[in-house]
Amino acid sequence: MTEQEISRSQTEWNLVFAMIRTTLPHSEAARLSFDLTTSLTSSGDSSCVSLDNFPGLVTILDDFAAVAGFAAERHQQRGRRVEPLTSAK
C-alpha cells in the first residue's frame, strides 16, 4: 500500500487519523487500526511517513499508548484483592 493509495494531502490524512481514532474504544477494531498504523510507519518501500502525516502518526501512536496504559491499569486493579481495614479475630 502506498501513500498515494491512502491520502494525498494533510486534510485527507487528518480524516484517516480521525477514523483510526474512532476505533480506539473497540479492542478488535483498534487492533486492526494499530496494524494499519504499524504498516504505514514501517521502514522500507512501504513506508508512508511524510511531512504531511508525521505529526498525526505520532499523535495516533500516543493515543494507542494511552489507551493501552489505561487498560493495563484497569486490569491490574481488577486483579488486586481488597483486604479489610480491620481484622476480625
- Tens digit of each residue's pLDDT (9 = 90 or more) over 58-75: 999 999 999 989 888 888
Condensed to tens digits (0 to 9), the pLDDT of residues 18-53 reads: 999 999 999 899 999 999 888 888 877 667 888 888
Greater pLDDT, 32 or 76: 32
pLDDT value of residue 77:
81
Domain boundaries defined on the chain:
3-28+37-77
pLDDT value of residue 10:
82
Mean pLDDT of the chain, nearest integer? 81
CB atoms within 10 A of CB 88: 4
Greater pLDDT, 51 or 88: 51
Give residue for cell 486492526: 32
pLDDT value of residue 6:
60
